[in-house]
Structure 1
């Protein structure tokens, strides 16, 4: 099993390169792919900081790289984009591909505790394995300077990972995050299957619950939410997260964007703001 990353594609863009890699993940027990956008600055002697982007339900590591247009701002700001996949693949667990909102493409960035789904450990993959892999194999990257972002399920992942690891990430942002998964159908389905029925276990992966516990946040949390997002009222609940932040004294900028939906058209419209948000925080070191 080759744990070192192997390059499988490369495309030049805005003076830098989108590169896709595969490797065997001991944590997940399968082969995984991820993308890195190396900005032009990475070809100099200086290491560049990194921004992780976690994608949403049914996505792979390709969606954000192909559709977001984030590379333009990343090129200008001199930050690398790290885009992992959203779940283990190829394990052939019964039922893993029965639904688009659970199993393959739906890892929810947690560590499953139910035996059947024991390989679904995307939290450890994103927080531990992938940063170590990057630091050991890519001299261009300064993984000690890192920020994190995400969309929908990935926005949930970015918020929860950030709050529980404030020493690892300098800033966080999200597009239309599943902000209170304990209280929405997507989250309840995933948490029941991955974590069991103990709600106390669910709270460890719910940003609205975590904010009161991990409230020593200095950098403002940035969230963009489309007002015409069909999932806004049933699945996303940004206002519950906003209330929790207010109660905990956590700085939050929640921007409601009229007319925008849940798609990558929405992400592409505001991604430059998010890249600049992270670049500013990373430069403050």
Structure 2
């Protein structure tokens, strides 16, 4: 692991790091905020998964999470959203596929299956690295994210309820198998058998018996992607049928950007801290 940068912030440290990923077969970059409490003891970990076109840097620069994380004693881990590099296949004319659009799945179709394995990268390889290199209490983990990252967060929590104690999302892509911006990507990553897509669809996972105790979701009412891309009503319907406690907060007038995310970031971190410190 190589340290790219370290900055003091709210008594803690914001770091950016790089390492060679054996799962993604390329160099990967990620960010970690260590609160001041981490100087004395291991701290709970909250994973933030970013959305389409983003990297680790977007939330680090716009998300306004450090003050709350410092007060609450939370480590915040921000992975990249896809593999990157000259040897990684991409579609530079399509912002909904390839670089910045890994969808937190493991591709099975060539040539993307060699590198685009973000599900295993986040859930296995990066988790091991965080556990070994940082003062992280891996028995207390939460996960949240935005849009594509909200989709990733909920699917990870549903598949690993023994690992994550809390899960929340900002405007998640709740039903990617129906959404206009994810269906073409799923087909190129996973093939035409839509049955294979269900393992990366939050609503489908719930329908197939996967469970998580409770979810917090914030959704802006002025979000331009709410109808074709996000489908919060689908998530609400699936959770109600399965008996999952979903706190879906429709936030009047908010859109899809980091103006929305930063407004409710502290709410989400407090929500995670309450559950991680029980």
TM-score normalised according to structure 1 size: 0.95
Query: Which whole-Å CA distance do the structure 2 matches of 1:28 and 1:95 have between them?
Result: 14
Q: Which runs of structure 2 are paired with 1:251-262 in the superposition (5 Å)?
A: 251-262=245-256
Q: Which runs of structure 2 are paired with 1:11-30 in the superposition (5 Å)?
A: 11-30=7-26
Could you say which residue in structure 2 is the equivalent of 1:106? 101
User: How many residues are aligned here?
Assistant: 277
Query: Which whole-Å CA distance do the structure 1 matches of 2:117 and 2:89 have between them?
Result: 17
CA-CA distance at 1:235 after TM superposition: 0.4
Asked if the contact 1:51–1:146 (Cα under 8 Å) also holds between the matched residues in 2, the reply is: yes
Asked if the contact 1:30–1:91 (Cα under 8 Å) also holds between the matched residues in 2, the reply is: no
Name the SS of the counterpart of 1:241 in structure 2: helix
Query: Which whole-Å CA distance do the structure 2 matches of 1:55 and 1:214 have between them?
Result: 26
Are residues 1:274 and 2:268 paired? Answer: yes
Distance 1:177 1:213, change over 3 A: same
Q: Select the residue among 52, 55, 63 that pairs with 1:57.
A: 52
Query: Which whole-Å CA distance do the structure 2 matches of 1:232 and 1:92 have between them?
Result: 35
Are residues 1:230 and 2:234 paired? Answer: no
Alignment deviations for residues 162-209 of structure 1 (CA, whole Å, 9 cap, x no partner): 101111100100000000001111120111000001111011100011
Query: Which whole-Å CA distance do the structure 2 matches of 1:115 and 1:144 have between them?
Result: 36
Alignment deviations for residues 35-88 of structure 1 (CA, whole Å, 9 cap, x no partner): 0000010011x1101000000000010000110111111111101000000000
Query: Which whole-Å CA distance do the structure 1 matches of 2:126 and 2:150 have between them?
Result: 18
The answer for unaligned runs of 5 or more in structure 1 is: none
Distance 1:11 1:92, change over 3 A: same
Q: Select the residue among 7, 32, 43 that pairs with 1:36.
A: 32
Name the SS of the counterpart of 2:200 in structure 1: coil
Could you say which residue in structure 1 is the equivalent of 2:157? 162
Could you say which residue in structure 1 is the equivalent of 2:111? 116
TM-score normalised according to structure 2 size: 0.97
Asked if the contact 1:215–1:250 (Cα under 8 Å) also holds between the matched residues in 2, the reply is: no
Name the SS of the counterpart of 2:70 in structure 1: helix
Asked if the contact 1:163–1:214 (Cα under 8 Å) also holds between the matched residues in 2, the reply is: no
Asked if the contact 2:83–2:102 (Cα under 8 Å) also holds between the matched residues in 1, the reply is: yes
Q: Select the residue among 122, 128, 133 that pairs with 2:129.
A: 133
Name the SS of the counterpart of 1:230 in structure 2: coil
Query: Which whole-Å CA distance do the structure 1 matches of 2:49 and 2:205 have between them?
Result: 19
Q: CA RMSD in A?
A: 1.0
Q: Which runs of structure 2 are paired with 1:77-92 in the superposition (5 Å)?
A: 77-92=72-87
